[in-house]
Amino acid sequence: MNRFVQPVPPPADPYADDTLLRSWLERHLGPGGHAAAKGRLADLAADVTGPLRAAHADAEAHPPTLVRYDPWGARIDRIDTSAGWQAQRAAAARHAVVALPYLPDARGTWGAAARVVQHALLHLYGPESATFSCPVAMADGAAALLCLPDVDAGVRDAWLPRLVSTDPATAITSGQWMTESQGGSDLGRSSTLGRPAADGSWRLTGEKWFCSAADAAMAVALARPEGAGRGSRVLAPFLVPRYAADSPLADGAAADAPAPGVTVHRLKDKLGTRALPTAEIGLHDAYAVPLGDPACPAWSGR
Ligand SMILES: Cc1cc2nc3c(=O)[nH]c(=O)nc-3n(C[C@H](O)[C@H](O)[C@H](O)COP(=O)(O)OP(=O)(O)OC[C@H]3O[C@@H](n4cnc5c(N)ncnc54)[C@H](O)[C@@H]3O)c2cc1C
């Protein structure tokens, strides 16, 4: 008896074959604006139907692992990710999925509608990104925060170019460390404490329960400045370097070791988004710099 085997459906080109997306772009960008975006969109679509589809499958099949100790017993907390995850990381940078709205050329061409083109890039990139769309979104959030005028210019100059780099060799992403086990969506119960240090930087101590993109080079962490009151409005965002390479407190540690005071307890065993490393992270006097005035966070309604 002949067994029926479903023929493989030919993969659609997510840009050329998506009439709705193209008409949406035509409406929001105008024919000239859409024409200027076509090259970028077609290039990314070609990658998505080719190498990124394979990278997606590889990253989903090989979830990240946490190596807590080296063979000699030293704590190293290294997160190993698959080749597919690394390919997704490089493609996100190369195709400017985070960077586009921050690039002077793009702003010159599309103005504020550079966000529309970025949205279209994300629409093409996300479904076969093995959830690298998550670090991408958090890196964009961190970049937008760093652009606020009350962020120290030195901090902005040190980190923003890396977040919006289109060179995979230098581009980084960011985590966002908010959730704590006692709080969940009730951020007002956050207990991570920030203390100012003598040099103007801060030290954070607390436990973050659900940190995605745990392999990213930095994180925006919420903490309660020492002496601030209760509730969520006094919580302030701090930039925490994730690795020793970027921490002034690192004393001879390997560049890819966790920054002093940052401990990766374990990776989450999630029902979905398994290619994405999500971790429980402990902070113990970890180096941090405030993003804006910690006594007057941007959302405090001053
Ligand atoms: C895949 C994944 C990745 C994540 N990555 C990150 C990350 O990178 N960084 C980070 O900080 N967090 C991250 N989180 C955590 C996420 O933000 C929290 O799960 C979220 O804030 C909800 O908290 P909770 O799970 O404790 O649910 P809870 O807050 O306990 O909520 C449980 C239920 O109660 C409801 N509920 C809560 N409060 C109220 C209320 N006041 N009134 C009525 N109903 C209410 C909710 O709608 C929900 O149905 C991640 C979570 C997942 C699943």
pLDDT digits (tens, 9 = 90+) for 85-100: 999 999 999 999 999 9
Within a domain: 144? yes
Residue nearest to atom 13 of ligand 1 (CA): 210
Within a domain: 14? no
- The pTM (predicted TM-score) of the whole model is 0.94
pLDDT of 269 higher than 90? yes
Domain CATH number, residue 256: 2.40.110.20
Answer yes or no: is the C-beta of 185 below 6 A from any ligand 1 atom.
yes
Within a domain: 8? no
Rounded average pLDDT over 200-210: 97
Buried b (16+ CB within 10 A) or exposed e, 237-258: bbbbbbbbebbebbeebeeebb
Residue type for position 63: P
Residue nearest to atom 34 of ligand 1 (CA): 185
| Residue whose CB lies within 8 A of the most ligand 1 atoms, among 138, 179, 270, for a mutation test | 179
Within a domain: 213? yes
pLDDT of 302 higher than 60? no
Residue 93: what pLDDT?
Answer: 98
pLDDT of 299 higher than 70? no
Q: What is the distance in A from the centroid of ligand 1 to the CA of 159?
A: 28
Pick 299 or 276 by higher pLDDT.
276
Answer yes or no: is the C-beta of 184 below 6 A from any ligand 1 atom.
yes
Rounded average pLDDT over 187-198: 96
Interatomic CA distance for residues 280 and 208, integer angstroms: 6
Residue 253: what pLDDT?
Answer: 86
Structure confidence at residue 243 as a pLDDT band (50, 70, 90): very high
Percent of the chain clearing pLDDT 70 (strictly above):
98
Domain count, the chain: 1
Residue 300: what pLDDT?
Answer: 67
Within a domain: 141? yes
Percent of the chain clearing pLDDT 90 (strictly above):
92
What are 210's two structure tokens?
């659900």
Within a domain: 1? no
Contact by Cβ (8 Å): 208, 181: no
Structure confidence at residue 21 as a pLDDT band (50, 70, 90): very high
Within a domain: 283? yes
Contact by Cβ (8 Å): 238, 288: yes
Answer yes or no: is the C-beta of 291 below 6 A from any ligand 1 atom.
no
Within a domain: 293? yes
Each residue of 222-240: pLDDT tens digit?
A: 999 999 999 999 999 999 9
Residue 10: what pLDDT?
Answer: 80
Each residue of 164-174: pLDDT tens digit?
A: 999 999 999 99
Answer yes or no: is the C-beta of 273 below 6 A from any ligand 1 atom.
yes
Q: Which domain holds residue 262?
A: 19-300
pLDDT of 298 higher than 80? no
Interatomic CA distance for residues 183 and 110, integer angstroms: 41
